[in-house]
């Protein structure tokens, strides 16, 4: 990932997240194991190394954990967020007072391993569909309190973000449609309420619903639990509605975008992407991602 495309996290948000995690871990009395066994003037060096292949995410959170515990600790990142690493790759070098280094270790690694796991798992999906125009997207199924961080990791892995919350985009689902009086009516109601700067997406479970939705020109139509054959038909219907074909269909900014969801797995995502849909949303890249194994080897100087 190039530096120009690499996402960034606001420093204030990073510090608040890490501070809360440290307070949770250190509790009322601090790291009593380290305080009782390590002298206050002892120093240490540590190497942070990847044990599995993956995509790194969360270095600034790890750095902040050590800084908040002991501002004198030096954290030197040897790679950048978004970099792909092989087993054995040195990720960071850390040096300073041993007490602070040991007390911050777990929180720093927790953030780094969790976010790197999400970035890595997202990359497996993104790599699988790289030959298509489709983008894999995360959902709002995230660990409470960590959504912005997890969505950051998804972007580092080559994925795209769906809406962050209920307030930044409209997603009309079956219950909204039932109360609103129909697919097109729901889209028109949302457009009137939100204005022209808010994206509007509507979920449909059949092609007849999709045709009705197109008459209201939503920004995105979510095609729920449709297999590849029906997805290809949906793409054809969309192209015919907008009177576009070939490269013009892919590039035209006016047309409704199509998103597929349901039964998205690493062994199905390629076939879904090859139907011509624009987006593929799945909770798996945040909720089912294993952590990336990263070790911290500490040497204490006596």
Catalytic residue set: 106, 141, 173, 203, 224
CA distances from 84 to 50, 186, 296, 297 (A): 10, 44, 18, 21
Contact in structure between 91 and 113 (CB atoms under 8 Å)? no
C-alpha angle 199/281/176, rounded to 5°? Answer: 50
* Residue whose entry in the numeric block shows the structure tokens 């796991």: 117
Strand-strand pairing, 43-50 and 90-97:
antiparallel
């Amino acid at each position: 990932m190039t530096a120009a495309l690499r996402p960034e996290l606001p420093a204030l948000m990073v510090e608040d997240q890490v501070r809360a995690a440290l307070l949770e871990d250190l509790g009322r009395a601090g790291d009593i194991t380290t305080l009782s066994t390590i002298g206050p003037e002892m120093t240490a060096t540590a190497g942070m190394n990847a044990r599995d292949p993956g995509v790194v995410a969360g270095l600034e959170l790890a750095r902040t954990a050590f800084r908040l515990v002991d501002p004198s600790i030096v954290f030197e990142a040897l790679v950048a967020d978004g970099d792909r690493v092989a087993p054995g790759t040195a990720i960071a070098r850390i040096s300073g007072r041993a007490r602070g280094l040991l007390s911050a270790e777990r929180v720093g690694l927790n953030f780094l391993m969790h976010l790197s796991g999400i970035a890595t798992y997202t990359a497996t999906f993104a790599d699988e569909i790289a030959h298509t125009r489709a983008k894999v997207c995360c959902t709002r199924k995230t660990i409470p309190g960590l959504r912005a961080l997890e969505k950051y990791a998804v972007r580092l892995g080559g994925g795209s973000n769906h809406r962050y919350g209920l307030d930044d985009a409209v997603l009309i689902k079956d219950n909204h449609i039932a109360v609103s009086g129909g697919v097109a009516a729901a889209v028109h109601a949302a457009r009137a309420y939100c204005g022209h700067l808010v994206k509007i997406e509507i979920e449909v479970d059949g092609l007849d619903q999709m045709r009705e939705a197109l008459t209201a020109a939503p920004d995105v139509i979510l095609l729920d639990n449709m297999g590849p054959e029906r997805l290809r038909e949906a793409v054809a219907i969309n192209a015919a509605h907008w009177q576009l074909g070939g490269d013009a269909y892919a590039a035209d900014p006016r047309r409704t975008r199509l998103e597929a969801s349901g039964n998205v797995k690493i062994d199905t995502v390629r076939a879904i992407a090859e139907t011509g849909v624009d987006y593929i949303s799945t909770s798996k890249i945040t909720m089912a991602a294993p952590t990336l194994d990263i070790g911290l080897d500490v040497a204490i100087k006596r």
